[in-house]
Each structure stands twice: as structure tokens, then as C-alpha cells.
Amino acid sequence: MSRQNTIQTAESYFDSGEFFAALKQRVSIKSESQNLEGFDKLRLYLDDIIVPELTALGFDTRIVANPVTDAEQPGSWPFLLAERIEDPAFMTLLTYGHGDVVRGYDEQWKEGLSPWELKEEGDHWYGRGSADNKGQHTINLAALKKVMDAKDGKLGFNVKIILEMGEEAGSPGLAELCEIHKEALKADLFIASDGPRLSAERPTIFLGSRGGFNFDLTVKLREGGHHSGNWGGLLSNAGTRLAHAWASMVDAKGKILIPGLLPARLPDSVREALKDIPVGEGANSPEIDLEWGEPSLTPAEQVFGWNTLEMLACKTGNPEMPVNAIPGYAIGYCQLRFVVESDTENFLTHIREHLDKHGFTDVELSANGELMDATRLDPEDPWVGWALGSLEQTTGKKPVLLPNLGGSLPNHVFANILELPTVWVPHSYPACSQHAPNEHVLAPVCREALQIMTGLFWDLSEQGNAMQVKRQSK
């Protein structure tokens, strides 16, 4: 069977409704990794969905307890490790996905929709995990199968898989897992899918991701609230203190005011790669605030080449039922997205010194979760040009190359611990409502993604071993 014929089998798989049915089954499992009372669903996703599928494809599978939690207690995010070794002399691909999702927020979805039932409305397929990440790894596994079927059960390369169930909780234990199993996970190339394309219409490759660092700002002045009429003007307000502390860190137009939280530079190579990259042009994308952020940067440079500081949520008093009382407590949940040129080891130090300098010694500062480091593969790496060529051959479109994703992924684990060249081929789009109510994928993007990944794995079958020799010779 030829490359094109094999891609046509992937098209038929989509057109027949088989892909929709497979994704529907996955979406129905409430694998919320942030729900500490629902961890049985995480194991169920692996046992009932992934293990049978991979076993049928000839993979050896094992479910591994999270190395930083007790597997017998609530709060354990399991991992699935799988491998299919055709020949030790062949090159080895490592791929990745995550079967967990954020909370459903069931009551916030629009009428007629449920996060746990995949529903089609035109080109929109709604369901939690449809975009992040169940739909994406379902596409990749289906594409592997199509190539394997076309080649009489042979791929011509080895495959190893990590499927985690805690990515939405910050990937606890992933780094430790890869350190422990580093030899078993040894590979030559990493290809996976997560996050959005630049736009629905443009196939995209990115080579890493911005890092993510979450932290809390807390003001604890006193227990409880006190009547605002009797005590107004006499007691400091925790909400006011938090608001002014935050305003000292980022200005009214989103510009970061702490120099230590900024990247050392915007490399010329990154600026060049981003010069013709439009952002926010999709039909369902929100309107960009062109006056927001670092004033000297283009929108593409803001989101792919620079750092951003965001207040994700804050609380003081009783927002649900306000009362006439001065709050003694306030908390802000904050996040820094950062690129590789940043001082990652000293973020907390820079913030603490800034707050103290500006008189906010009463504002407590603490990290919230694990820091996810930033990564970026050299765009000149031979695997990059090879992947771009494969996507263009399949789609007839020139793919977008992003130095890194604007969001954060645990790519540092694969790039730094496992020391792999990392190529990401995303299958979602920016307005997919990832992490929000009404999460969805676009049917045409899924169909094209099946074509792309089938072509990519076909090309890896035909060219991968020679490409690996070429790369090693450089």
C-alpha cells in the first residue's frame, strides 16, 4: 500500500464515524486529576481504554505507580508505560499523551451540553478532554495503527509510550518517573501532540514550550471580618493590600514591573521565526488587546518569545454573599509564563525582594505546585526540517514553525532528562475552550490531523533509520 492510500484509510476511519465513537468513549470517563475523590477513574481510563488498544497493537504495557505518591492512597496519579520493539537496531520513537482532564464544571456548560458526553454541533465536537488531550493522543494511536496495518504489521521503527494521568495537576511524578526509568525510556526522537495549532487552518509544529510557575500571594491580617461602619478607617483591608501589591508587580496594561521576572533577551533567531506569524485570527478567537503587555513587542513575540504575569483568581471577604465587613484575609492565585532565557531558579527571590522593597512585607509568598521549565529545540535540527516536509507533503500547506508553544507542557522532562529532540504536532486550535466550559475540537482539524500523523509515521517508517544516522553524523 502506498503513502497516499494509507492516508486515505485514515480518512475513511474518520468519515465512517469510528473516530467519533472512540473519542466518545474516552470523553465519557470522568478522569479529573484535580478531583481527589475520583482517582479510580484515572486507573479506569488506562485499564479499560488504553491497555486493550495498545495490547492489540503488539505493545507490552505496564501501569506504574506514581513515584511521589502512595499508590494505595487517594491522590495517586498513575502512569502507563508501553513499548513495541521490532528490532533493537531500529531507531526508537517516544510518544506521550495524558488521559486526565481538568474539572468538568458541569453546570457552566451551555444548555444541552455535558462535559462527559461528546456531542456534535456542526463542525464543533463538545466534551471535556476532546481537545486536551484525549482527542490528540487518540489521533496519534489511530495513525500508528493505520501505518502498521498498511505495512503488514510492521512499522520499521520501535515505539515507546508514556501516558500520564496527572498532567492537569502539574504532572506530579513525571520527572521522577523518567529519572527512574531513564534507560527503559531511551529513544532517538520524541513526537507528541498537545496544545493548539497557531490557527485552525494552519498545520503547526512547535519545538518546546514556555515554562509555567504558579504562586500564591496571601494577606493574613486578622481572624474574620469586622463591621465596616464601626471599624472603617481604623483597620487595614486585606483586599486592598493584595490589590496594591499586585499593582506594584504588573502595571494597568499588563507590563511586568519586576526586572528579575523578565527574560534576559529576545534572541534574533526567535524574532526572525516569529516575524510573519499572526496570532488570534481564528473565527472564534477573542479580540486581541494590542495595547496590552510589553509595548515594544509584536503579538507573536508577546506570546511565544516573552514572559507574562497573570492573576488567575483572587478572593477576599465573601464574594458569593457580600457583607458590610472589612476582610482580614485575601489570597491571589498567580502565574508566570516564561521562556528559556529566564532566571528560573530565583523567581521567588525576585518577587520577595520586590514586595519588601515596596512595603508589602505583610504579603506572604509561596510556590503553588511544581515549576514547569521552558524548552526549545534548535530549529536547525535535522528532525525539524524532516517533520515540516512531511506535513507539507500531506496537506499541500506550508506548516507554521513555532520556536515554542505559548502555553506550558512538561517538555523539559523529555528534552532535559531524557535528552531527546522534541517535535510537537498539535491537533487543537486556540479557541477550543481548553480548561473552560464548552471545550471542543473541530471536526475538520481532527480529520486533517489523522492525515498528518499517518503521513508522518509513514515517513518515519520509510526514512527514520536513515535520518537518525544522518543526525548522529552531524
For the stretch 300-344, pLDDT in tens is: 999 999 999 999 999 999 999 999 999 999 999 999 999 999 999
Q: What's the CA angle centered on 427, arms 101 and 167, to 5 degrees?
A: 25
In the predicted structure, residue 281 carries a pLDDT above the cut 80: no
- Does a structural domain hold residue 282? no
Same domain for 149 and 221: no
- Does a structural domain hold residue 284? no
Residue with cell 485575601: 330
Average pLDDT, the chain: 95
Q: How many CB atoms lie within 10 A of CB 56?
A: 9
Mean pLDDT in residue range 262-272: 91
E strand or H helix at 279: none
- Does a structural domain hold residue 302? no
Q: CATH code at 247? A: 3.30.70.360
DSSP 64-94: E--TTS-TTSTT---EEEEEE-S-TTS-EEE
What is the chain's percent helix, strand, coil content, to nearest 5? Answer: 35, 20, 45
Same domain for 359 and 382: no
pLDDT given for residue 195 in this prediction:
92
Residue with cell 492565585: 333
Q: CATH code at 22? A: 3.40.630.10
Of 147-156, 278-287, 367-376, give the lowest mean pLDDT range. 278-287
Q: List CB contacts of 27: < 8 A, sequence separation 6 or more.
A: 115, 116, 117, 118, 127, 128, 129, 130, 134
Same domain for 417 and 389: yes
Contact 328, 224 (CB under 8 A): yes
pLDDT tens digits for range 76-132: 899 999 999 999 999 999 999 999 999 999 999 999 999 999 999 999 999 999 999
Q: Residue 72: pLDDT band by 50, 70, 90 thresholds?
A: low
| Beta bridge partners of residue 334, listed in sequence order | 215, 311
Domain count, the chain: 2
Same domain for 336 and 466: no
pLDDT tens digits for range 121-136: 999 999 999 999 999 9
- Does a structural domain hold residue 281? no
- Does a structural domain hold residue 17? yes
Per-residue cell: 466: 536513515
Q: Residue 283: pLDDT band by 50, 70, 90 thresholds?
A: low
- Does a structural domain hold residue 436? yes
Same domain for 387 and 363: no
Strands (E), 5-73: 60-64
The range of the structural domain enclosing residue 199 comes to: 3-209+374-473
Q: Residue 73: pLDDT band by 50, 70, 90 thresholds?
A: low
Same domain for 153 and 66: yes
CA-based nearest residue to 243, from 124, 350, 360: 360
